Structure 1
Amino acid sequence: MDNFGSISKARVAILGMGLMGGSLALALRDHVRELRAADPDLAALELAHQLGLVHRLSVDPSEVLPGSDIVILAAPVHAILELIKLLPDLHPGSPIVLDLGSTKTQICRAMEGLPERFDPIGGHPMCGKETSGLRSAEAVIFKGATFAFSALGRTSQRASGTAYQIARVIGAIPVWIDPEVHDRWVAATSHVPYLLANALSLATPIEAARLVGPGFHSTSRLAASFAPMMLDVLVSNQENIHQALRRFRAELDIIESTLDQEDHAFLEEVLARSTERHAELVVSSQGSVEP
């Protein structure tokens, strides 16, 4: 693939056929020259074969990586870090390397250590589902979703342009962000909400189940996420999560104190400010920045 060639000419290898890797395969398969995939899970590979997702499948990455122009690491954070270590021995060429990890600082640092022939860029599509695995994969999950990209000091215009093309082809909104800033922000927008959903589920008596309504469903929805995957994410971003939790506790303390003091006027003011902030956050979540 030449420097500013269309991804339609690219051979793409996706390492990981879970929810994200499978969804990306579904979204990309009609837009690239060739799609390959590797996954240690034989059941996932069999399903990918049945669905006709890719042109080449293997449990061994070394059988799909050589000759690929774009390598996409679609695995949990710890697995991505291990794959980065193995890439120099698995791929003899000079591919663009894009990851889909939920946190970026550790991954981007590891990518900096790749041999010069690799062209890495960090990525994180801000979408997903509570259910996991290839059976839950859908191309539509990327539609209108933010796709965060973190360029390294060594990232070329070729890699940035390719990342931008991928986002646009799958219907996502590309946003460019420093990896450390990304991890600080997703602690507040993704990781703490997951923990709060878990805490709410655990704090609610089982006897209250008959009175569970839409409010509980929407607020606790993330607690249904695949726990081992989320543990991997949380461990990779602990300090930022600690800071976000402290900010949340401070706000919750204000609300609790206001209730204790029966200061209804101030409580109404707090709730009104919250409504305004929610609207601002939702509106500001849309938009893209050119590479």
Structure 2
Amino acid sequence: MNAEDGFSRSLADCKVAIVGLGLMGGSLALALRGHCSQMLGVDHDLPTLQLASQLAIFDQLSQNPAEILLRADLIVLAVPVLKIISYLNSLPALHPSGAVVLDLGSTKKAIINAMQELPDRFDPIGCHPMCGKETSSLANADAVIFQGAPFVLTPMERTSPLARRLALEICSVVGAQPVWIDAEVHDRWVAFTSHLPYLLANALAASIPEEAALLAGSGFRSTARLAGSSIEMMRDILLTNQAPVRRALNQVRDRLNLLSALLESSDPGALEAFLIEGKRQYEFMLGDGKR
């Protein structure tokens, strides 16, 4: 669907193809059910397709993207980041007439760069819903997962009013809060708010002695929860956001080095001030960044 051909279209007129029927793709399909003309699904995993068929929300399902994407007006790429880039490189051969293209990837700059290479018949816009679970399968899909969550939108100069409007309509339908932001700024911020928490949870889980499991209570479980996230997803995120993640790690390392020095000094006042600083910043973040 070229922007010129479908400028007046709404989501209700669109045949939506979702590529990748895991947690995010499956949740989006559930949330968009009844709000588009047809729902099409692509996934390489046969058991996932069988489960998707049982959910009875798709008009057509296939392991072969060539069978599905040709019919779509709106394509949503909901696979790990490097696979999103691979699909973007393949789209010109899979869809000769073009379509609006969205992604749900957790990093944006690398994806936007790949979107820029699409032929003019494609109308791309980067997206990233800031929500999820540590369990990534279709079995855990949830139509309400997007409600109240920030939904990042990273348009390019080539992004048409149609693509922008469809992205906003998706936000409205699923109950998310649209946030327009530059791709590089997005990647710098989520290095701290999303990628670093995963790495810290992973490091904590890997560092705990196995014999300490007997004493692992709710504090450990809530702190280490993100270590259960999809390895493929997190690998691709880290490989496409290396510099911002390294800067975030360096800042935390400096903070931990300071903490180690404070413990060695046995200065209760300095240690308390260190802990208060972290608590205040947490309360600031919890209050949506309002002092």
TM-score normalised over the length of structure 1:
0.94
Q: Are the aligned partners of 2:80 and 2:232 in contact in 1 as well (CA < 8 Å)?
A: no
Give the Å deviation of 1:4: 4.5
Out of 261, 270, 274, the residue aligned to residue 270 of structure 1 is 274
Aligned counterpart, 1:156? 160
Residue matched to 2:24? 20
Structure 1 position 174, deviation (Å): 1.0
Residue of structure 2 in register with 1:179 after alignment: 183
Q: Deviations over 1:33-70 (max 9, x none)?
A: 11111111111111111111211111111211223221
2:200 aligns with 196
Q: Is 1:221 matched up with 2:225?
A: yes
Are 1:252 and 2:274 an aligned pair? no
Task: Give the match's secondary structure for 1:140.
Answer: coil
Matches within 5 A, 1:46-57: 46-57=50-61
Distance 1:282 1:30 in 2: 35
TM-score (normalizing by structure 2): 0.94
Amino acid at match of 2:26: G
- Percent identity, aligned pairs only, is 50
- The aligned amino acid for 2:258 is I
Of 263-272 and 16-25, the range deviating more from structure 2: 263-272
2:235 to 231, 234, 244: 231
1:143 is the counterpart of 2:133: no
**Residues 84 and 111, structure 2, Cα contact 8 Å, conserved in 1:** yes
In the aligned structure 1, how far is the partner of 2:289 from the partner of 2:16? 29
Native 8 Å contact 1:27 1:139 kept in 2: yes
Partner of 1:35: 39
Superposed CA RMSD: 1.6
Cross-structure match for 1:289: none
What residue ranges of structure 2 are gaps of 5+ in the alignment? Answer: none
| Alignment-mate amino acid for residue 190 of structure 1 | S
**SS in structure 1 at match of 2:152:** strand
Measured in 2, the distance between the counterparts of 1:50 and 1:220 equals 33
Q: How many residues align?
A: 286
Per the alignment, residue 7 of structure 2 pairs with 3
Distance 1:162 1:248 in 2: 39
Q: How much does 1:229 deviate?
A: 2.3
CA distance in 1, matches of 2:224, 2:122: 41
Contact 1:67 1:93 in 2 (8 A): no
Q: Any stretches of 5+ residues in structure 1 without a counterpart?
A: 287-291
Which structure 1 residue ranges, 4+ long, deviate > 6 Å from structure 2?
A: none
How big is the shift at 1:172? 1.2
Question: What is the letter of the counterpart of residue 174 of structure 1?
Answer: P
Maintained 8 Å contact 1:255/1:267: yes
1:21-170 matches, within 5 Å, as 21-170=25-174
SS at match of 1:64: helix
1:104-145 CA distances to partner (integer Å, 9 max, x unpaired)?
A: 111100000101111100011111111122111111211121
Query: 1:285: how far off?
Result: 6.6
Residues 2-29 of structure 1 deviation map (CA, whole Å, 9 limit, x = unaligned): 4253312211111111111111101111
Q: How far apart, in 2, do the equivalents of 1:207 and 1:72 lie?
A: 45
Aligned residue identity for 1:50:
Q
